[in-house]
Amino acid sequence: MTTALTSPGTARGCEGVFVGRVQPVIVVVAALKGGVGKTTTSIYLSAIAGPDKRSVTLVDADPQASAADWVANAADDVLRALEVVEAPTERLLTKVLDRVDADDIAIVDTPPGHERLLAKALDLADAVVIPTRVGGVETVRVEAVLDMVPKRLPAGLVIASARTFTRDYQETVAMWVEAGVPVWGAVPERVTIASGPDGWLSVEGLDAYREVWRRLRRAARGQ
């Protein structure tokens, strides 16, 4: 069954990507800097992460609670159905993630600039998504996050606001691939996915993040 995300010309149904036992269980969306699409990535992954009857919890570990506010004011039925838990401290985050059942999914929106809390989230994660943009300074910031990721943990990049037709974008992807860092997806600049709770989830945005979820799942299974 497909869950409707209905708004004229902008949104459509959002269906689960896979069935059966869900892996990974805990997905951490990580960035040490704001403004790279971290909360947007957390929202969209939460919207497409599970099929019907699958519990998805969005864990907002950012004291600003941007993700929680987005869902609280959301027009989309899928977002309104999400369980949202605010956990802006290491103790609360550990308590929340310890309660995640094996067949459930938790998407964790981590705060920028809070290395200790991010490290705790990574210790409990099954996979990590690192949003970034094209640009020289972004490379250093991604590398700082990657340095914190445990060796066992699959990690991949999502390039936000991507001008996929440009040389800069193509060279950035090639650089990360050569470095052995997978790029799980790119969200084109033209996609209006950052409108927040006043707007509807974008069809193109859902498509882009659905592909990110598929690649994340394969990486977590070692495929």
Exposed e or buried b per residue across 140-155, where buried means at least 16 C-beta atoms within 10 angstroms of its C-beta? ebbeebeebbeeebbb
Which domains are present in the chain?
26-220 (3.40.50.300)
> pLDDT of 147-165, one tens digit each?
999 998 999 999 988 888 8
> pLDDT of 174-186, one tens digit each?
999 999 999 999 9
Q: What is the mean pLDDT of residues 64-81?
A: 88
What pLDDT shows up at residue 198?
Answer: 64
Q: Which residue has the tokens 């995300």?
A: 5
Crossing angle of helices 203-220/38-48, nearest 10°?
80
If one counts every other C-beta atom within 10 angstroms of the C-beta of residue 65, the result is 18
What pLDDT shows up at residue 10?
Answer: 36
Whether the CB-CB separation of 54 and 103 falls below 8 Å is answered with: yes
Query: CA 178 to CA 181: how far, in whole Å?
Result: 7
> pLDDT of 42-69, one tens digit each?
999 999 986 556 789 999 999 999 999 9
Q: In the chain, what percentage of residues exceed pLDDT 70?
A: 82
Exposed e or buried b per residue across 66-94, where buried means at least 16 C-beta atoms within 10 angstroms of its C-beta? bbbebbeebebebbeebebbbbbebeebe
Nearest to 110 by CA among 98, 134, 137, 92: 92
Exposed e or buried b per residue across 167-188, where buried means at least 16 C-beta atoms within 10 angstroms of its C-beta? eebeebbeebeeeeeebbbbbb
Whether the CB-CB separation of 107 and 25 falls below 8 Å is answered with: no
Nearest to 155 by CA among 212, 200, 105, 99: 212
